[in-house]
């Protein structure tokens, strides 16, 4: 009997607060790679951090939970989370702008 494909989910998050200049993108990238989550993270001109996570639901949930706290120097005020259709993104990258 064939094993069914693992479920893949995609979440787009926008993190508000003091989240730029505190290592948010790099720490998110490291955690995503460790968890096997694909996607990207970037600073936005409005001072927020935006990220897209694709992977197994439990792994994506861990990344979303991390975004609610961030690295020690961050002060997260609010996190917007939107479910999207997976697009098959490969790897995890820090995007510029």
Enumerate the active-site residues.
25, 43
Q: Partners of 52 in the beta sheet?
A: 12, 40
Do the beta carbons of residue 17 and residue 75 sit within 8 Å?
A: yes
Do the beta carbons of residue 50 and residue 41 sit within 8 Å?
A: yes
Q: Partners of 93 in the beta sheet?
A: 40
């Amino acid at each position: 009997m064939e094993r069914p494909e693992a479920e893949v989910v995609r979440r787009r998050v926008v993190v508000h607060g003091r989240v730029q200049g505190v290592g948010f993108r790099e720490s998110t990238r490291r955690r995503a790679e460790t968890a096997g989550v694909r996607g990207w993270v970037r600073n936005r001109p409005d001072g927020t951090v935006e990220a897209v996570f694709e992977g197994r639901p439990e792994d994506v949930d861990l990344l979303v939970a991390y975004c609610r706290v961030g690295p020690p120097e961050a002060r997260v005020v609010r996190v917007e989370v939107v479910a999207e259709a997976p697009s098959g993104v490969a790897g995890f990258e820090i995007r510029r702008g």
